[in-house]
Structure 1
Amino acid sequence: MSVRAAVPGDAAALAEVHVRTWQAAYAGLIPQDYLDSLDPAQREPGWRRWLADLRPPTAILAWESPDGVAGFVAIMPSRDPDAEPGETGEITAIYLLPAYWGRGAGRELMAAALRRLTEAGFRQATLWVLGTNARARRFYEAAGWRPDGVAKTDDSWGFPLDEVRYRRDLEFAADGAEERDLLG
């Protein structure tokens, strides 16, 4: 099992992971009719375009299980208006098929994302999480992320999503101890 840069040929697998993870992780947190309407085939063309147009430091990293792509993490420069340009990177998505939850794959994806952001020269990273997503919040906090007091409501999905921002520093210890901690 490994983490690698995603390529356009991964579009169908990434769309599948994206949809199936949303359906499992957000059940009871966002409208069920919306979750039921999600279709990987409808998301695949968007994934194909996005993967073809990626420019560093923006990246999609795929986690491969023996059965194929089973998770991904997306990183880019922060989109937040209060971010210092070139100083703050952002994890815009991290998703893993439910069959792999609690087995270390999420920690591998997170460590790879933090490493990439650090290599790109960012000193801090942020991510946004649904305020009611207790499972995700526990995962982030275990990886050293902390809420920074900023919240927003995202209405772009046709219903409100109340999100909180998490932040962490990106200075790995020279001996890699912090990275080992993330990998367990």
Structure 2
Amino acid sequence: MIRTATPADLDAMVRLHAEARATYYSGHLPEEEYAGEAGRSRGGWARAIDRADATVLCAEQDGTLTGIAAYAPRDGAMHLSQLHVSPAHWRKGVGTALHDACVAAWRRDGVAEARLEVFVHNLRAQAFYAARGWTPDPDRSRTGSHLMLILLP
């Protein structure tokens, strides 16, 4: 089930976010750069839930949070800032369901383009997005350690 996140979801969201980050940053960044940021992550997720112009979605199965996604307008385009799935639920359709819910909302709202950043070493995520029509952003292909992708919903 995909639903809108609430403040009651914050603890589970922070745990899932930390778990997901560890899978794609491990071996590429020093652990201190991505681990132990629960306070900052919690604050960021809380602000996203409270923002009037942002949407935060949760994927839930049998009462367990299995995925999260967040998007908001930025610089004239919709920006998918987060899409994470618990590694225990990879390849079970959770990411696809979250992605499809985001794209359906963008189409319903008349969004002309969406953008996202994906860690350059996260080949799993890059393949996921490419399979769903995301392409390199022609205006900005990279920002630091992240590739820029664009989708025309």
**Hey, what's the Cα distance between the residues in 1 that align with 2:72 and 2:5?**
14
The letter of the residue matching 2:105 is R
Correspondence for 1:163 = 146
Structure 1 CA distance for aligned equivalents of residues 116 and 126 of structure 2: 11
Aligned length: 151
Q: Which protein is bigger by CA-based radius of gyration?
A: 1
**TM-score w.r.t. length of structure 1:** 0.75
Q: Tell me: CA distance 1:164–1:102, structure 2 relative to 1, closer, same or farther (3 Å).
A: same
2:124 to 135, 142, 145: 135
Identity of aligned residues (%): 26
Counterpart position of 1:48: 46
Write the deviation string for residues 40-65 of structure 1: whole angstroms up to 9, x where unpaired: 466334433432x2213x10000002
TM-score (norm 2): 0.89
Structure 2, unaligned stretches of length 5 or more?
none
CA, structure 1 residues 130+43, in 2 after alignment: closer, same or farther (shift >3 Å)?
A: closer
Counterpart for residue 58 of structure 2? 62
1:20-99, aligned counterparts within 5 Å?
20-35=19-34, 37-38=35-36, 40=38, 43-51=41-49, 53-56=50-53, 58-79=54-75, 85=76, 88-99=77-88
Which segments of 5 or more consecutive residues in structure 1 lack a partner in the other structure? Answer: 80-84, 154-161, 171-184
Q: Which amino acid aligns with 1:20?
A: E
**RMSD of Structure 2 on Structure 1 (CA):** 1.8
Superposed CA offset, 1:92-113 (max 9, x none)? 1100110011111100000011
